[in-house]
C-alpha cells in the first residue's frame, strides 16, 4: 500500500536509536470504545461507507464533535474529539484527490491543478457531500451546539467528512478510503457547479492588476443583527473608488460577495 511504503521509506532515514519508537504505531491508545452506536446504526454506517467496520471506535471518534466531550462524562478514560482524525483525514484526502487529478488531467499545469484541487477539499464542497450522504445522522454534538447548527453546521459537516476518511483509512486501509472518495467526492469533478472558479477575490485582483491599478481594499461598511448572528456589509475599493458591495455572515464571505459584485459591474475596466 502506498502509505505503508512511504512510511517505511521515511524510517530508513531515522537513527537506529529512534526506530524502536516507530516499530509499533499505537494509534488506538486514545481511541477508546464508547458504545455511541447501536447495531442498527453500525449497519447503516457500513452501508454508507461501503465496507464492513472492524473497529467501531474509530468511527465513534470521527463523529464526536468537541462540544460532545462534556456530554460523555467518561471517568478514567482519555477521550478526544474528531479534531485529531480530521488532521489526518485532511492529508489522506489531499493525497487521493491529488493523485486522481494528476492522472486524470495529464495536460493541465500544476497551478491549475492546485486550483481544481482546492475546490474539492474546501469546507463548502466537503460539507455538501457530507450532508448529501447523510453524515449528520451520526455526528454527536451538544444540545447547545445543535441549536446553532445552521450557523456552524458547514464546518462541523466538513470536519466530520475528513475525520471519517481517516477512520476508514485506519480501520479498513487506504484502498477502502480511495473507494469511498471515488464513490462520493470524485464524481463531482467535471460538474459545472464545482469546476467553476468561485474565488472572486482572486479573479478581481488579477483583473485590476492587469489594468495597472492598485490592489483592491476591503472594508466593513456596516453590521446588522445580534453578536451571535451578525450580517456584515463589506465594500471593495481601488484608487479610492467603490467597486462593489457584498453581504455575508462573516467578513470572508462578505468580501467574496463584494468581489463578485465588482466583477459583475465591471467598473474597474475603464
CATH number, domain of 263, equals: 3.30.160.20
Of 195, 216, 245, the last residue of a domain is 195
Residues 186 and 261 in one domain: no
Q: Which residues contact 81 (CB under 8 A, 6 or more apart)?
A: 61, 64, 65, 66, 68, 69
Q: Give residue 3's pLDDT.
A: 46
Model confidence at 32: pLDDT above 50: yes
Residues 182 and 63 in one domain: yes
**Total number of domains in the chain:** 2
Residues 40 and 120 in one domain: yes
Residues 180 and 224 in one domain: no
Residues 191 and 205 in one domain: no
Residues 100 and 136 in one domain: yes
SS3 23: helix
Residues 105 and 47 in one domain: yes
Contact between residue 248 and residue 256 where contact means Cβ atoms under 8 Å apart? yes
Q: Which residues contact 17 (CB under 8 A, 6 or more apart)?
A: none
Of 180, 195, 210, the last residue of a domain is 195
Q: Give 253: exposed, middle or buried? Use CB within 10 Å, 0-12, 13-18, 19+.
A: middle
Within 10 A of 14 (CB to CB), how many other CB atoms are there? 11
**pTM, rounded to two decimals:** 0.66
List, for residues 37-75, the tens digit of each pLDDT value. 999 999 999 999 999 999 999 999 999 998 888 877 655
List, for residues 121-149, the tens digit of each pLDDT value. 988 899 999 999 999 999 998 876 665 55
Active-site residue numbers?
90, 162
Which residue range forms the structural domain that includes residue 236? 200-269
Residues 167 and 135 in one domain: yes
Of 167, 195, 223, the last residue of a domain is 195
Residues 248 and 133 in one domain: no
Residues 38 and 71 in one domain: yes
Q: Is the dihedral of CA 70, 72, 73, 75 positive or negative?
A: negative
Mean pLDDT calculated for residue range 145-166: 79
Amino acid at each position: 500500500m502506498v502509505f505503508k511504503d512511504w512510511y517505511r521509506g521515511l524510517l530508513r532515514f531515522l537513527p537506529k536509536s529512534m526506530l524502536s519508537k516507530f516499530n509499533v504505531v499505537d494509534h488506538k491508545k486514545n481511541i477508546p470504545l464508547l458504545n455511541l452506536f447501536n447495531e442498527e446504526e453500525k449497519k447503516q454506517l457500513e452501508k454508507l461507507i461501503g465496507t464492513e467496520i472492524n473497529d467501531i471506535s474509530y468511527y465513534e471518534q470521527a463523529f464526536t464533535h468537541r462540544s460532545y466531550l462534556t456530554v460523555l462524562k467518561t471517568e478514567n478514560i482519555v477521550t478526544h474529539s474528531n479534531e485529531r482524525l480530521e488532521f489526518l483525514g485532511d492529508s489522506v484526502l489531499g493525497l487521493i484527490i491529488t493523485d486522481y487529478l494528476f492522472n486524470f488531467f495529464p495536460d493541465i499545469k500544476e497551478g491549475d491543478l492546485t486550483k481544481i484541487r482546492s475546490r474539492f477539499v474546501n469546507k463548502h464542497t466537503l460539507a455538501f457531500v457530507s450532508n448529501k450522504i447523510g453524515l449528520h445522522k451520526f455526528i454527536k454534538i451538544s444540545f447547545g451546539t445543535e441549536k446553532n447548527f445552521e450557523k456552524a453546521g458547514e464546518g462541523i459537516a466538513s470536519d466530520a467528512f475528513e475525520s471519517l476518511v481517516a477512520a476508514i483509512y485506519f480501520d479498513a486501509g487506504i484502498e477502502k478510503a480511495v473507494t469511498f472518495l471515488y464513490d462520493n467526492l470524485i464524481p463531482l469533478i467535471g460538474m459545472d457547479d464545482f469546476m467553476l472558479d468561485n474565488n472572486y477575490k482572486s479573479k478581481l485582483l488579477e483583473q485590476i492588476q492587469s489594468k495597472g491599478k492598485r490592489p483592491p481594499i476591503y472594508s466593513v461598511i456596516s453590521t446588522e443583527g445580534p453578536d451571535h448572528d451578525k450580517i456584515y456589509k463589506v465594500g471593495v475599493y481601488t484608487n479610492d473608488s467603490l467597486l462593489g458591495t457584498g453581504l455575508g455572515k462573516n467578513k470572508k464571505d462578505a468580501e467574496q460577495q463584494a468581489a463578485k459584485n465588482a466583477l459583475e459591474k465591471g467598473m474597474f475596466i475603464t
